[in-house]
């Protein structure tokens, strides 16, 4: 199947700083990518839909100025958590669908464990 790679796998940052997470589709082009957040023992909650060459679409309750999404190429989307606080500590995971593969199955990155201290 298609491969989605996410970097870094884990990051620890100080409160008030910004952290950038990268999501790459390695063997296919993804015009759309999705960013999820997962708190411990909870489900994956969609934060935003990242669209190549246009603005991201944010889910209700997600601050677009705090979670900056850039999808500048067909293989890369980035999520920047600005002015991170301890409550932003979570598992962030991206996904994309391969249009050449039918566009049905979602492929996930390995996730990024963010800890804000």
Residue 40 tokens, joined: 């411990």
Question: Other CB atoms closer than 10 Å to residue 73's CB: what's the count?
Answer: 13
Nearer to other proteins, 10 or 15 (CB): 10
Judged by CB under 8 A, does residue 46 bind other proteins?
yes
Q: How many Å apart are CA 21 and CA 8, to the nearest integer?
A: 6
Bridge-based pairing state of the strands 19-25 and 32-38: unpaired
Stretch that binds other proteins, among 17-25, 65-73, 75-83, 95-103 (CB under 8 A): 95-103
Nearer to other proteins, 86 or 102 (CB): 102
Element (H, E) at 58: strand 57-58
**To the nearest whole angstrom, how small is the minimum distance from the Cβ of residue 24 to other proteins?**
14
Nearest to 67 by CA among 52, 53, 51, 84: 84
Residue 32 tokens, joined: 């759309």
Interface residue with other proteins among 21, 97, 114, 116 (CB under 8 A) is 97
Judged by CB under 8 A, does residue 103 bind other proteins?
yes
Summarize as ranges the residues that interact with other proteins (CB under 8 A).
31-32, 34, 42-46, 49, 91, 93, 95, 97, 99, 103-106, 108-111, 113
């Amino acid at each position: 199947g298609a491969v989605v790679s996410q970097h870094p796998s884990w990051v620890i940052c100080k409160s008030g700083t910004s952290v950038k997470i990268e999501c790459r589709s390695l063997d296919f082009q993804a015009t759309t990518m999705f960013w999820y957040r997962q708190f411990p023992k909870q489900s994956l909650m969609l934060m935003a839909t990242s669209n190549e060459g246009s603005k991201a679409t944010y889910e209700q309750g997600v601050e677009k100025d705090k979670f900056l999404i850039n999808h500048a190429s067909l293989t890369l989307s980035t999520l920047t958590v600005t002015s991170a606080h301890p409550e932003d500590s979570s598992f962030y995971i991206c996904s994309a669908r391969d249009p050449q593969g039918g566009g049905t199955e979602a492929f996930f990155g390995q996730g990024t464990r963010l800890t804000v201290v």
